[in-house]
Chains A and B, each alone.
Chain A
């Protein structure tokens, strides 16, 4: 443990650690919101690679776990605000499911800040940029995640 903390500290101090993030964005709101961030030329860190899915409701827990297992330092799922889902209620199912994934991950010792859900509408380009910027900022001090269940 101590060693791992040391490694993380070093990474943190030298400012080299760039967290790898997978962002699952729903097509109608969050992906459109990220498009708006682009159109508005907002600047945010390049750490998050987006995967556009039809709806946050289509994000299976296994996607999230798999992203961590493939070495993601953080995973984001973003959908339409409650009540605004293009598919009426997909995001409500997502919210419940993701809540559970999050609690499970925290239980096995994954820092709460590594996994996030956000509501970003098509009009919220600024919010999208902020969500990514905040996520990167919060992930940096945590250092690399390593794979699930692996020693750090």
Chain B
């Protein structure tokens, strides 16, 4: 069992001692049931920390954002940030470490194990409750979730509410942590890895094309998927331009030098290009927190585009992202025995 009191106590000591600049965790939501990211700087705020299956967000993102902010504000507070990290979040931290984006000294990791559970998919919850609003959501053993509503409590099978990625998760505990809360539970998983991906991948080619074309057609290019992704930390995305960051001194000529790999118009083909480029750029880096899919306002299964490359990385190259910060990344390494049959 993850004892939330322990996490709160740790957060309080860290803040009291001034060891950390702030604690990134989850607090009760101000709207709706879902917990929300909390940025705590005072010891007494530690009491507001929560841990339940609505702690969906990947907090690694806020670490990245905070780093960006510190850089622009030229802050010289060099103290680390403490971060509450689930298994997937911790893998994101590993990739960030692997890419030198953060230094291990910049972060204190409060690892929490999902202990056979996971986080819910809000869409599944809404569907299961048929419109009623949930007030509380808690794991009830490993296989069930207790949901409180205005009209009382119901217990639903976890497999109906957990997010797809949690159902498929093979390692529901932090890879890397300073303190660990809860037990590392091995051998769980409700569905096989890549189950959601396979249902699409197994469709015939024409159907697959129609499926994705319809999705790309719908994309509004709000870039929410990119904004929520802890790996999309570049100052300037190739999708916007790749020539340079615009400054007040940027001349028109220089602006003309930008590569327009992708047009801004929400044309299906441009959107497809955007999603494919993003998937390629996340190959070997995406740790499947599925935040991109969650935030998509038009329900594009963005996660699957990353999943397909994750599966290939595993099956063809035995590469699992987010396991070892010392490893060269998927595409900056190779083995002599890599698949070669596909080449003529």
- Chain A positions within 8 Å of B, measured between CB atoms, are 1, 61-62, 65-66, 69, 82, 89, 92-93, 95-97, 99-111, 116-119, 131, 134, 146-151
Contact = CB atoms under 8 A, between A and B. Distances in A.
Contact of A99 (B211, B269, B276, B316): B316
B62 interface: no
Nearest to B313: A100
Nearest to A79: B343
A61 B272 contact: no
Given A95-B334, A109-B209, A109-B211, A104 B279 contact: yes
B77 interface: no
Contacts of B211: 109
Contacts of A95: 334, 338-340, 343
B280 to A, nearest CB: 4
A97 B331 contact: yes
Contacts of A150: 213, 268-269, 272
B1 interface: no
A133 to B, nearest CB: 12
A96 B276 contact: no
B308 A107 contact: yes
A61 B212 contact: no
Given A62-B238, A93-B331, A116 B269 contact: no
A151 B330 CA distance: 33
17 contacts: A1-B206, A69-B272, A95-B338, A96-B334, A100-B312, A104-B309, A107-B208, A107-B305, A108-B272, A109-B210, A118-B344, A119-B344, A147-B269, A148-B276, A149-B269, A149-B273, A150-B213
Interface in B281-318: 283, 304-305, 308-309, 312-313, 316-317
Contacts of A62: 238, 261, 277, 280
Contacts of A105: 276
Contacts of A116: 344
Contacts of B209: 108-110
B342 A109 contact: no
B311 to A, nearest CB: 9
SS class, residues of chain A in contact with chain B: helix
Contact of B269 (A93, A119, A148): A148
Contact of A104 (B206, B276, B317): B276
Most buried by B among A65, A108, A148, A150: A108
A105 B205 CA distance: 11
Contacts of A89: 334
Contacts of A118: 343-344
A117 B344 contact: yes
Contact of B276 (A65, A82, A119, A131): A65
Nearest to A97: B331
A28 B301 CA distance: 42
A1 B207 CA distance: 9
B235 interface: no
A134 B344 CA distance: 10
Nearest to B260: A66
Nearest to B315: A103
A149 B283 CA distance: 20
Contacts of A134: 344
A66 B280 CA distance: 13
B201 interface: yes
Nearest to B273: A69
B280 A99 contact: no
A146 B316 CA distance: 30
